[in-house]
Chain A
C-alpha cells in the first residue's frame, strides 16, 4: 500500500517536473535561436516599426501594436457577451435548457481556427465591409479612417471575440458554479431581487471572473490562423479599425518559410519568444486568479 502510493506520487511528480522543464526548454531554445537578433537590435527591436528584410532592418513594434490592439478590442467586445452567457446559463436558464446550451458553447470552442478563418473571409468580411461603407461619412474620425476594405483590424477583433466567447464564458460559468448558494440566500433574505442576488454572486466570484476574462485575452494574443486570414497582413501602425494591420503570430506564420537569412529568421524567433513570455504571464495570472477564487469558495464552504 505505502510503496504503491509512494510510486504514484513519484510518477506524478516526475510528470509535473517534466512539464516545468519543457517550458524552460522552449524558452531557452527560443532565446538561443533569436540570439543574433537580440544582440544586433537590443531593446530597439521593441521600440521601432521598420520591418525590412531586404535591408536587414527589423523592429517589431507594429506587430506588438497589432496583437495588443486586436486582442484588447476583442476583450472589450467579448467580455459582456461572455459574462452574459455565463450568467444566463448558471443563474437564469431553466434546468432543461442548461445542458444543451453548455454543450453548444463547448462545441463552439472546439471548432478549428482555420474554419473560423474561412467563415471570416466568406461571411464576416463582407458584412464588415458593408458596415464600413455605411460609416464612410465619419471617416474624419481616426477610428473610422481609411478605405472600406472589409479585411482589417475590425474583422480580426470580431473573429477573435467569436472565438474567445465560448472559452471565457465556460470558465466564468464554472467559477459562478463555485459560489456558495448561501451567498445568494444571504442577499435574498435581505430583500434582494433576483438581479441583486446575481450581482452578489458575481461579486463573490469577481477574482475568478477576471481570471476567466484574462484567460480569453491570453487566447486572443496567441491566436494565429483565423486572424492571419482576415486582418490584411499590412505592416503598419494605425489607430483605424478599418486599416489592415499585422500581428505577432501572423507575421511568424506568414514569413517563417521565406526567411532566407539567419538574421531574418532570428528576428522572427524573437517575436515568438516575446509572444511566449506574454502569453505565459497572462495565462499564469489568470489561472492564479481562478485558483484563488476556488480556494476562497472552498474555504467558505468548510468554515
Chain B
C-alpha cells in the first residue's frame, strides 16, 4: 500500500498515494475551465483548466507571485472582496458554476472553507471562535447542539484534548500551532465539503507542522482539500495530486508521485529539484 517512489529526498510518513484505481474512480469535485483572473488590468491567472477529485488532497506549488493564492481564492470567491478584480471562465463545484449570476456567495463560502497562511483567530474565546460560523449562519437551534458541534469540530482538528478545560479562555493565548488548528476547527464547524489551505504551516515549527500534516491526512476522508505550499517535501507527503504554477499559468498537473519522480515538463523538474531561476 505504501509507496516510497516519490523521489530520493522525500520520505512519506503516510501512505498517501493510494492504488491507482481508487484515485481515478473518485468523482470530480472542482472543475475549473479556462479560468483567467485580473487585478485591474493586470492578468494574474491565465487560462487555467484543472479538475480536482473528491476526497483527495491537491497541492499547489510554484515560485512566489505565480498566482497560487489568487487561484485558491477564486475557488471560494474570496477575491470578490478585492475591488477592481475580474474573473473569466468557470469554476464548477459538484457540477454547478459558482460564478454564475444569482449564486449566493455566502452559501459558496460556507461550502468551501478556507484556512489562511497566518492564523487569524477572532479576539474571542476558543469556544466563540469555533461557534462563530455556526452562529452567523444560524446552523444550530439549541445551546447543547452548539456545544456538541464545537466539540466535534475541535475533535476533528485534533485540538479538543488540549483545550477542553479552557474553552472560555482567549484564543489569542494559544500557541501558533494551536491557533492554526483552531482556525481549521472554525472552518470545519460549518461543515464545508472543500477545505482550502493557503500555506497553513508556513509560520509553524516542525512539530506543529507535522500535526497539521497528520490532520490533513485524516481530514481527506471527509473533505476535498486544496493546499498551497512552498515546501516540496510537504507537497509530496500530504498530496495525491500536485499542480505546478508558473507566472500565472498552470504548467503541469498530475499525480504527486509522477510530478516528483517523472515530471513531464522541464520547468517542473527544475523547480522541484531546486535548480530554478
Contacts and interface: CB of A to CB of B under 8 A. Distances in A.
B122 A191 contact: no
A133 interface: no
A188 interface: yes
Contacts of B186: 186, 190
B78 A192 contact: no
Interface in B97-126: 106-107, 109-110, 113-114, 116, 118-124
Contacts of B183: 186
Interface string B82-108: 010000000000000000000000110
Range class of the B interface residue count: 20 to 34
A204 B137 contact: no
Interface string A163-186: 000000000000000001011111
A183 B116 CA distance: 11
B142 to A, nearest CB: 20
B58 interface: no
Given A182-B116, A182-B118, A186-B116, A191 B81 contact: no
Interface of B: 76, 78, 81, 83, 106-107, 109-110, 113-114, 116, 118-124, 132-133, 136-137, 172, 176, 183, 186-187, 190
A186 B109 contact: no
Q: Which of B123, B133, B186 has the most CB of A within 10 A?
A: B123
Nearest to A95: B83
A189 B76 contact: yes
27 contacts: A95-B83, A180-B120, A182-B116, A183-B120, A183-B122, A185-B81, A186-B116, A187-B136, A188-B109, A189-B109, A189-B113, A190-B109, A190-B110, A190-B113, A190-B133, A190-B137, A190-B186, A191-B106, A191-B107, A191-B136, A191-B137, A192-B136, A193-B106, A193-B136, A203-B123, A203-B124, A300-B172
Contacts of A203: 122-124
Contacts, number: 67
Main SS at interface, chain A: helix
B132 A184 contact: no
Interface residues of A, number: 21
The 10 closest A-B pairs by CB, nearest first: A190-B133, A191-B110, A182-B120, A189-B114, A186-B120, A191-B106, A191-B109, A191-B137, A196-B136, A192-B136
Given A95-B83, A203-B122, A190 B176 contact: no
A203 B132 CA distance: 13
Given A193-B106, A196-B136, A303-B176, A188 B122 contact: no
Given A186-B120, A186-B121, 12 more contacts: A182-B118, A183-B120, A185-B81, A186-B116, A186-B122, A187-B136, A188-B81, A189-B114, A190-B109, A190-B137, A191-B107, A191-B136
A188 B78 contact: yes
Among A189, A196, A203, the most chain B Cβ lie within 10 Å of the Cβ of A189
